[in-house]
Amino acid sequence: MRFAVFGLIMVVVVGVLTTRLMYLQLARGGYYAGVAQENRLLQQPLRSTRGLIYDRAGRPVAVNIPSYAVTITPADLPLPQRDAVIDRLATLLDMPAAQIGQALDRNAGRLFEPVRIAGDVPGDIARIIAEERRRLPGVEISDEYRRQYEYGSLLSHVLGYTGRVTADDLMRLGPVGYLHDDVIGKGGVEAAYEEALRGTYGTEVVERDGSGRIVRTVQVTRQPQPGDSIELSIDVEMQRQAEQAMQWAMDIVKLQRGVVIVMNPQTGEVLAMVSLPSYDNNLFARGISTADFESLLHDPRRPLLNFAISEQYPPGSTYKLVTGAAALAEGIINDRTTLDTFPYMELGPNRYYDWNRRGFGPLDIYGGFAHSSDTFFYQLAGRLGIDRLSDYAHDFGFGARTGIDLPAEARGIIPSNDWKKELFNEPIYPGEVYHAGIGQGYNATTPLQVLNAYAALANGGTLYRPQVVRRILGPDGSVVRDFEPQAIRQLDIDPKILRTMRQASREVVTSGHTGNLRDLPIVVAGKTGTAEFGTRNAAGVIPFHSWFVAFVPGFGPDQPGDPAKTDSELAIVAFAYEANARGNAATEVVKYFLQLHYDLDVDLRRPDLLSEPFWGGN
Amino acid sequence: MSAIRVERSEAAAWRSRPQAASWHAFDPQLAFYALALAFVGLLVAWTNSAGAPLEPGSTFTRGLMWFAIAIVAFAVSAAIDYGWLRSLAWLVYVINIGLLVMTLVFGSGAAGAQRWVAFGAIQIQFSEIAKILMIAVLAAFLASRRDRIGRPATILGAGLLMAPPFVLVMVQPDLGTAIVFVAVLFGALFMAGASLRWLGLTAAAVVAALPVVWFQLRDYQQQRLLSFLDPTADPLGSGWQVQQSLIAVGSGGLWGRGLTNGSYSGSDLLPVQTTDFAFAVLLEELGFVGGIVVFGLFLLLIWRILLVGWRSDDAFGVAFAAGMASLLLFQVLVNVGMVTGIMPVTGVPLPFITHGGASLISMAVGLGILQGINMRRVARPDW
């Protein structure tokens, strides 16, 4: 009985399968034979559209615009006509014929895969090519999107650019679905947020005819998912003001490089980040020519580098924040202790000069910081020793990447005994401790590190991770990721000490050390820096960079703030590379930026301080 | 035949003693159908050898090697008294679990799965061997309970016996083989005479447990099942594979395109054509007629296997034959169903046709044991 049931099941199973075979092979056999013989199915990717980028006010800064690309399908290009077609295309597209030939040869073996010859082809050229298609077998015009950066060089260092994947990229990204002619973010936000911006590619099954031409889409097996959009914390308006201020100073002093960064100290949001000279990232988005790329790459002013984060410089006197706070925290001085200052200090046979060759007489921390007395801070550094000094520097975020969401950030150097032993196999010498105390010698920091340390000072002691992106938005506008301030750490320094240093920073301005910054109708606190580097020039002057890092406590023009409070929402750093001028160029830049930003109707700029070269002194 | 009749009257006395094999009772049909199927498998290996079937290391030469080994395995399994399988069933069981654990520890495979263990250039899929070993273990268990076969505890015991290998295969993960275990379990229980009511209830419970199993599946397994239900939702391309398979099968028509003339054999358009989709190549090249011949051979083979069980007065023989028959029938259903697009894509081979040494040798051993059962049986009248 059970044998019979099993037999029945067996017959039913084979019956079902036979019926299915009859349907596929007999009833539909003709159809499938057609598909198999004359047509080939091909699975191909469907590209997603790249997410857009907006500034914090919602202004689009990176968009996609439709453009034409020219491709050649090798299988459709008969060999005898090859040279003629390549020559004609070379003329139309204004590119070397050899380049087209090379592109075709690189793809040898993949006959049915269209080879991309040129992108961003002007509409009239595309129309001519389309009209001449009989004379140009295998050549196709395809629609694609290309990136357009609405503000060009203004935001290049923040945004980066998109370009074709390289062979190296493909080794790494081919397995996750990148195509041989794919577009990828390079540098800046485009690279840092590549995954979110790219979206997810889909796939479709298409049918090709005998000659390999795609005749129809059989089935979209997976819909592409557009990339997410990004909202920057950068404000284009502030970015423009920062650039205008720095450009003004650069033109007068003939600066080679300049940086301005603006940040909200309460959150770590970067509101503006200017690194000059810049470049036009639209050149890259259009497909940069080899000549243009070479000239950018070999430009001695190095416009492709973002000096705000990718290069490190001696911080100079801005670093006295670390030395002063460390000395207060370690009980070496209190805020009433006065120390004598001198024209120079002697260590063995060496003299360590103050920038003021007359000395200042007795100073407390407020005066020492305000006048930036070097001998005052030599004494503090000497008593702290290099290792304690280095610990506080690390606490303020020096000597480590801030972790900003941009690629290629430099780490900086903070010397310590261990560091020097590892590198030079000798300990730090006492004179080097003096230099470290005033941000010279081995010390190297990025402008962003300097700003971030002062932002922590301004907000009462929280070191934030700087961020340039505020929100990630889905294709439908929903918020995928919201900006959260990310604290790196709480400074291991008593808030009272930070308050002292904030007030000392205010004295830097009120004492008149900063030109006429005190005449601004807003309360500003900050610190200048003059960082010597290299060797004496022909005029006997050691070249120097100038720094100014500032924060605006409280409110603004109408309600002057109080530097004792921790409510600052604006911190600025300006860095001027090799700023050979009588006045501090960076201070002038910050002053001008504040005038623009608060739309002040005073003009306190002092171009006279910048147009004369420096003859000595600080 | 007269000698056998004498034995029948003394059947009760014989049962506890080793029985002498009688080559007279060798079932030539059972061997013939299996050989014919293995021959068809070699044909497919030939056509899948990308134009150089005689090169060392080609699918065909490896197929020939496994075929030779399978013949030996068949003969040895038939000659050795299967009685030891019953008395040493626990040892077989332990070895089986050991092999599956080894697969998990040393195994490798596609898409993050651990299915094969490599010995030099040879990869062995122990789960194929496990299928036969579990049939033997199951048969021994059912034979030991022949007097209480109708009790629910029989079903529970068999289920518990099957659970460890099921889980071990499931985590490889190899959903197909795991389901084959379940099919064999039910087939053997049913044919051995388990309580129909309890069997039905158990089946209902298994169906009820499916949602739980679903969430244990790997993403790609879920996707495969989903892509079977809805071929447009297919991130991993198994829908593409099925699409290609359907074109291959459909374009075969009544007579096929002729051996080695298929557009898909030897090309990369049909993924894994040398393994789980081998039957698609056969259907394209040998057509509907070729497919029907293979179906016929499978039907005849399963019929002869059932006959071994029918003629055996021995509970072990019945259960073993039932397990083998279930194994074959279920794998045919799942593999051919997959190739023709009416079953989801699972890694279940088509016995004899799919190239794979472990599968072929397991079949040979199983059929050898069946011949042994046949040759040592206490005779019943032939059909």
- Whether the Cβ atoms of residue B191 and residue B183 lie closer than 8 Å to each other: no
Which chain B positions have a beta carbon within 8 Å of A41's beta carbon? 243-244, 247
pLDDT confidence band for B120 (50 / 70 / 90): low
- Please give the full DSSP string across A375-400, using - where no structure is assigned: HHHHHHHHHH-HHHHHHHHHHTTTTS
- Whether the Cβ atoms of residue A398 and residue A453 lie closer than 8 Å to each other: yes
- Whether the Cβ atoms of residue A413 and residue A443 lie closer than 8 Å to each other: yes
Please name every residue paired with A270 in a beta bridge, in sequence order, or none if there are none: A263
pLDDT at B382 over 50: no
- Whether the Cβ atoms of residue B263 and residue A37 lie closer than 8 Å to each other: yes
Q: What mean pLDDT, rounded, does chain A reach?
A: 89
Calpha distance A617→A354 (Å, rounded): 9
A25 and B234 within 8 Å at the Cβ level: the answer is no
Would you state the structure tokens that stand for residue B251, as one six-digit string? 């374009």
Would you state the structure tokens that stand for residue B356, as one six-digit string? 């794979």
Q: Give A545-596 pLDDT, tens digit per residue.
A: 999 999 999 776 777 788 889 999 999 999 999 988 888 999 999 999 999 9
Calpha distance B163→B185 (Å, rounded): 10
Helix A97-106 / helix A79-93 crossing angle, nearest 10 deg: 130
Mean pLDDT throughout B303-313?
Answer: 85
Mean pLDDT throughout A44-50?
Answer: 87
Better-scored residue on pLDDT, A471 or A111: A471
Better-scored residue on pLDDT, A81 or A53: A53
Helix-strand-coil split of chain B, %, nearest 5: 70, 0, 30
Out of A9, A25, A219, closest to residue B252 by CB: A25
- Please give the full DSSP string across A495-561, using - where no structure is assigned: HHHHHHHHHHHHHHHHTTTTTTGGGSSS--EEEEEEEE-S---TTS---EEEEEEEEE-SS-SSS--
Give the residue carrying structure tokens 């229980």. Answer: B189
pLDDT at A331 over 90: yes
> In terms of DSSP bridges, do strands A344-347 and A469-473 run parallel, antiparallel, or are they unpaired?
unpaired
> In terms of DSSP bridges, do strands A229-232 and A53-54 run parallel, antiparallel, or are they unpaired?
parallel
pLDDT at A600 over 80: yes
Calpha distance A157→A162 (Å, rounded): 13
Calpha distance A600→A605 (Å, rounded): 12
What was the pLDDT predicted at B31?
87
Amino acid at A463: L
pLDDT at B317 over 90: no
- Whether the Cβ atoms of residue B273 and residue B260 lie closer than 8 Å to each other: no
pLDDT confidence band for B265 (50 / 70 / 90): low
pLDDT at A97 over 90: no
Would you state the structure tokens that stand for residue A105, as one six-digit string? 């040869």
CA-nearest of A368, A375, A318 to A345 is: A375
Burial of B304 (0-12, 13-18, 19+ CB in 10 A): buried
Phi/psi at B42 (5° precision) = -65, -35
B251 and A33 within 8 Å at the Cβ level: the answer is yes
pLDDT confidence band for B275 (50 / 70 / 90): low
pLDDT confidence band for B276 (50 / 70 / 90): confident
Out of B193, B254, B263, closest to residue A36 by CB: B263
Q: Give A469-526 pLDDT, tens digit per residue.
A: 999 999 888 898 888 999 999 999 999 999 999 999 999 999 877 877 888 889 999 9
Better-scored residue on pLDDT, B100 or A410: A410
Would you state the structure tokens that stand for residue B382, as one six-digit string? 């032939």
Would you state the structure tokens that stand for residue B376, as one six-digit string? 């040592």
- Enumerate residues 6+ apart whose C-beta is below 8 A from B10: none
Calpha distance B318→B308 (Å, rounded): 8
Using only C-alpha atoms, what is the Rg of chain B?
Answer: 21
Mean pLDDT throughout A139-159?
Answer: 92
> What is the least distance, in Å, from the CA of A202 to any CA of chain B?
8
Write the DSSP symbol of residue A425: S
Distance of CA A29 to the CA centre of its chain: 60
What was the pLDDT predicted at A189?
96
pLDDT at A615 over 70: no
pLDDT at B13 over 50: no
What was the pLDDT predicted at A618?
42
> What is the least distance, in Å, from the CA of B267 to any CA of chain A?
12
pLDDT confidence band for B10 (50 / 70 / 90): very low
- Please give the full DSSP string across A83-150, using - where no structure is assigned: HHHHHHHHHHHTS-HHHHHHHHHHTTT-TTSPEEEEEEE-HHHHHHHHHTTTTSTTEEEEEEEEEEET
The domains located in chain A, with CATH, are 67-106+114-143 (3.30.1390)
Give the residue carrying structure tokens 């911080």. Answer: A315
B14's enclosing H/E stretch is helix B11-15
What was the pLDDT predicted at B14?
40
- Whether the Cβ atoms of residue A249 and residue A255 lie closer than 8 Å to each other: yes
A223-232, B29-38, B46-55, B194-203: range with lowest mean pLDDT: B46-55
Burial call A281-300: b when 16+ CB within 10 Å, e when fewer: bbbbbbebeeeeeeebeeee
Give the residue carrying structure tokens 């520890």. Answer: B105
Q: Is the peptide bond before A175 cis (omega within 30 degrees of 0)?
A: no
From A2, which residue of chain B is nearest by alpha-carbon distance? B191
A10 and B234 within 8 Å at the Cβ level: the answer is no
Most confident segment among A83-92, A370-379, B175-184:
A370-379
Amino acid at B162: M
What was the pLDDT predicted at B230?
47
What was the pLDDT predicted at B102?
85
From B194, which residue of chain A is nearest by alpha-carbon distance? A2
Please name every residue paired with A216 in a beta bridge, in sequence order, or none if there are none: A207
Calpha distance A287→A117 (Å, rounded): 11
The answer to whether A602 faces chain B, any CB pair under 8 Å, is: no
ipTM value of the model? 0.82
Residue A481's Cβ-side half-sphere holds a number of Cα atoms within 13 Å equal to 14
**What percent of chain A has a predicted confidence (pLDDT) above 90?**
54
What was the pLDDT predicted at B91?
86
What was the pLDDT predicted at A611?
81
- Enumerate residues 6+ apart whose C-beta is below 8 A from B362: B128, B129, B131, B132
Residue A321's Cβ-side half-sphere holds a number of Cα atoms within 13 Å equal to 38
Count how many pairs of residues, chain A against chain B, have C-beta atoms within 8 Å.
118
Calpha distance B348→A504 (Å, rounded): 78
What was the pLDDT predicted at A436?
94
- Enumerate residues 6+ apart whose C-beta is below 8 A from B240: A43, A205, A221, B234
The answer to whether A10 faces chain B, any CB pair under 8 Å, is: yes
Helix A320-329 / helix A447-458 crossing angle, nearest 10 deg: 40
Q: Give B60-112 pLDDT, tens digit per residue.
A: 888 888 899 999 998 888 888 777 777 888 888 898 888 888 888 877 665 45
What was the pLDDT predicted at A389?
96
Q: What is the 3-state secondary structure (H, E, C) of B206-244?
A: HHHHHHHHHHHCCHHHHHHHHHHHCCCCCCCCHHHHHHH
Would you state the structure tokens that stand for residue A167, as one six-digit string? 């062979």
A21 and B249 within 8 Å at the Cβ level: the answer is yes
If one counts every other C-beta atom within 10 angstroms of the C-beta of residue A536, the result is 10
pLDDT confidence band for B233 (50 / 70 / 90): very low
pLDDT at A203 over 70: yes
A25 and B250 within 8 Å at the Cβ level: the answer is yes
Out of B244, B254, B306, closest to residue A26 by CB: B254
Calpha distance B286→B248 (Å, rounded): 11
pLDDT at B12 over 90: no
pLDDT confidence band for B121 (50 / 70 / 90): low
Q: Give A230-281 pLDDT, tens digit per residue.
A: 999 999 999 999 999 999 999 999 899 999 999 999 999 999 999 999 999 9
> In terms of DSSP bridges, do strands A525-532 and A544-552 run parallel, antiparallel, or are they unpaired?
antiparallel
Give the residue carrying structure tokens 């005898």. Answer: A80
Please name every residue paired with A42 in a beta bridge, in sequence order, or none if there are none: A206
What was the pLDDT predicted at B231?
43
Q: What mean pLDDT, rounded, does chain B reach?
A: 78
pLDDT at A39 over 60: no
Mean pLDDT throughout B247-251?
Answer: 80
Amino acid at B65: M
Better-scored residue on pLDDT, A192 or B258: A192
> What is the least distance, in Å, from the CA of B251 to any CA of chain A?
4
What was the pLDDT predicted at B383?
42
Q: Give A425-438 pLDDT, tens digit per residue.
A: 998 999 999 999 99
A505 is catalytic: no
What was the pLDDT predicted at A494?
95
B364's enclosing H/E stretch is helix B357-375
Write the DSSP symbol of residue A604: -
pLDDT at A155 over 90: yes
What was the pLDDT predicted at B381?
45
> In terms of DSSP bridges, do strands A115-121 and A139-149 run parallel, antiparallel, or are they unpaired?
unpaired
A24 and B246 within 8 Å at the Cβ level: the answer is yes
Calpha distance A108→A566 (Å, rounded): 65
Mean pLDDT throughout B46-73?
Answer: 80
Distance of CA A219 to the CA centre of its chain: 41
A21 and B292 within 8 Å at the Cβ level: the answer is yes
Mean pLDDT throughout A338-355?
Answer: 89
Calpha distance B343→B352 (Å, rounded): 20
What was the pLDDT predicted at B111?
47
pLDDT at A616 over 50: no
- Whether the Cβ atoms of residue A379 and residue A161 lie closer than 8 Å to each other: no
What was the pLDDT predicted at A328?
96
Would you state the structure tokens that stand for residue A344, as one six-digit string? 């120079």
The answer to whether A102 faces chain B, any CB pair under 8 Å, is: no
Catalytic residue among A156, A275, A317, A546: A317
pTM summary value: 0.63
pLDDT at A412 over 50: yes
Calpha distance A312→B64 (Å, rounded): 69
**What percent of chain A has a predicted confidence (pLDDT) above 70?**
95
Burial of B285 (0-12, 13-18, 19+ CB in 10 A): buried
Better-scored residue on pLDDT, A129 or A558: A129
If one counts every other C-beta atom within 10 angstroms of the C-beta of residue A462, the result is 19
- Whether the Cβ atoms of residue B192 and residue B318 lie closer than 8 Å to each other: yes
What was the pLDDT predicted at A583?
84
